[in-house]
Structure 1
Amino acid sequence: MGTTERVLALLGLLQQRRVWTGPELAGRLGVTTRTVRRDVERLRTLGYPVHAGNGVGGGYQLGAGQALPPLLLDDEEAIATAVALLAGAGTGDAALRALTKLDRVLPTRLRSEVRALAASVESFGGGRPSVDSEVLMTLARACRDEVEAEFTYRGDVRRVEPYRLVASDRRWYLLAYDLGRDDWRTFRLDRMSEVSARTWRFRPRPAPDAAAYVQESVASRVYRHQARFEVRAPAETVRAQIPASAAVVRATTPGACEVISGADNLDFILLHIVLLGHAFTVAEPPELRERCEVLARRLRDAGVTSS
Structure 2
Amino acid sequence: MTAKDEALERLVNLTFAFLDAEQNGGRRLLTASWVRDNVSGYSDRSADAARKMFTRDLAVLRAAGVPIEIVANPEDPGQTGYRLQSEEYPLPEVSFTPAEATVLALAGDMGLGQRLAAFARSGWTKLAAAGASRELGTVPVVSMLNDTAHLGPQTLDTILGACRHRRRIRFSYSRGPVDEVVTRTMDPWGLVNHRDRLYMVGYDADRDAVRSFRITRVSEVRESGPASHPKPGDSDLQDLVARSLGRGRDFVDVRFRATAGSAGELTRSADHLSDDIHVLRNVERDWFIRIAAAHAPQVTVMEPDDIRLAVIETLTRAAERHATENGDPT
TM-score w.r.t. structure 1 length? 0.39
